[in-house]
Structure 1
Amino acid sequence: MALLILGHPDIEKSLANRTIIEELKSSHPALEIRNLSMLYPDYNINAVAEQEALLRHDVVIFQYPLYWYSMPAILKHWFDVVFEYQFAYGSQGDKLKDKYFIPSFTVGAPEREYNAVGEHHFRVHEFCKNLEQTAYYTGMKYVDPIYFHGTSVNAGYTEESIKAKAKIHALALAEKLTEFQN
């Protein structure tokens, strides 16, 4: 069984992330989903409950929208609180060792803007080094991120195209889950 940490601050307003979650729920009903904004609207994260959830699973997906080249504040805070010394790292902090770490996110802007000459100056993978290092430092098995561009209706993308891309994204995640759970 796998765990999905949902770090979207308002999933009901996100067609892309909501579609991904709905698709995963239908294809993998045993998937445990922890919606951080619903569980902790006051950001008072229960480290013990979250650590227990992590311990129950060998595959952990972190689902979120890319905000200002990073993760939303609630997900960053979750890492700060949950990945404690002697749990996630330290001389006895091997509780996450060999678990799969899968970043899964959506990017509002088009792909053509994420390169050396584009508006955002870097490729998306370059914004994931902190995730890769976190996985490495905690002994987790980092999986290259699964993501897609063009999730903003405000940027001219249609709801139909966003949903179609989100379904493809969910299928890619489902394939990873099947691969790692066999």
Structure 2
Amino acid sequence: MALMIVGHPDLANSVANKTIVENLKQKTNDLEIRHIQKLYPDYQINIKEEQQALLRHQSIILQYPMYWYNMPAIQKIWFDHVFTYQFAYGSQGNKLKNKQLLVSLTIGQTEDNFIQQDGNSIIDNLLLPVQKSAQYAQMKYLDPVILYGISAVTGHTKSETVEKALQHSQKLFQAIQKLESNISLSN
């Protein structure tokens, strides 16, 4: 069973993230979903509870929208408080060792806005802090699943955004199934 940490600060008014989360809930009962903004509207993260959730699972999915080329504040606070010394790192901080971390990210802008003149994407650079944090915690950082171009300024209708989010959710579901089957095979 996988764990999804939803870091959208206003999921109720989201189109893409809300669709992704709700669609995954319908597709599988084997996914624990923790909407951290709903759990901690005061930003007072229950560290022990969140660490226990991480310990229950081999696969962790971070689901959030990109905000100003970064993760929302609640997601960053969650990282800062939960990935603690002697839990995620340190001489005895191996509790996340070999767990898999998958980022599922929604981005309002089109993918073209992330391509440099040399043709390379900057998205890997933007996700480098998450990747390095995962590696520091001895986790396996997996290639992210990214949904671009879902804001109203891209000209997409709400129904088009929902359709794109459903397609993203299907990709994510397949990635989760693959992760879980790999874990089953290695046990």
Q: Which bin holds the TM-score, normalised by the shorter protein? A: over 0.9
Alignment pair present for 1:71 and 2:77: no
Alpha-carbon distance between aligned partners in 1 of 2:43 and 2:138, rounded to the nearest angstrom: 26
Residues 1:172 and 2:171 are matched in the alignment: yes
| Structure 2 length-normalised TM | 0.92
Bigger CA drift: 150-159 or 82-91?
A: 150-159
Equivalence for 1:151 = 150
Cα offset, 1:67, TM superposition: 0.4
1:82 equivalent to 2:82? Answer yes
CA-CA distance at 1:12 after TM superposition: 1.1
Listed one character per residue, the Cα deviations across residues 17-50 of structure 1 (whole Å, up to 9, x for unaligned) are 0010011101112211110110000000000000
Q: State the alpha-carbon separation in 1 of the partners of residues 73 and 170 from structure 2.
A: 27
* Comparing 158-167 and 15-24, the one that deviates more: 158-167
Distance 1:148 1:123 in 2: 15
Instruction: Tell me the percent identity.
Output: 46
Work out the CA distance in 2 between the residues paired with 1:127 and 1:17.
19
For 1:153 and 1:18, locate their aligned partners in 2 and report how far apart those are by CA, in whole Å: 15
> How many Å separate the matches in 2 of 1:170 and 1:125?
21
5+ long unaligned stretches in structure 1? none
Provide TM-score, normalisation by structure 1.
Answer: 0.95
SS state at 1:102 partner: strand
Q: Report the more deviating stretch, 21-30 or 83-92.
A: 21-30
Query: Where does residue 94 of structure 1 map in the other structure?
Result: 94
The equivalent of 2:42 in structure 1 is 42
Partner of 1:105: 105
| In 2, Cα distance between equivalents of 1:122 and 1:97 | 29
In structure 2, the gaps of 5 or more residues are 182-187
Displacement of 1:167 after TM fit? 1.0
SS in 2 for 1:74: helix
Residue 114 (structure 1) aligns with: 114
The residue aligned with 1:125 is 124
- What SS does the corresponding residue of 2:4 show, helix, strand or coil? strand
Counterpart secondary structure, 1:61: strand
Q: How far 1:125 sits from its partner (Å)?
A: 2.1
The amino acid of 1:8's aligned partner reads H
Partner SS state of residue 34, structure 2: strand
CA distance in 1, matches of 2:107, 2:20: 13
- Partners of 2:23 and 2:5 in 1: how far apart? 15
Alignment match, 2:184 = none
Separation in structure 1 between the aligned mates of residue 178 and residue 113 of structure 2, nearest angstrom: 32
Match of 2:127, SS state, is helix
| Structure 2 CA distance for aligned equivalents of residues 180 and 122 of structure 1 | 25
Q: Residue 86 of structure 2 aligns to a residue in which SS?
A: coil
Q: Which piece of structure 1 moves more, 158-167 or 67-76?
A: 158-167
Distance apart, 1:15 and its partner CA: 0.3
> Match of 1:25, SS?
helix
Q: Which amino acid aligns with 1:131?
A: V
Q: 2:14 matched to 1:14?
A: yes
Q: How large is the RMSD of aligned CA atoms in angstroms?
A: 1.5
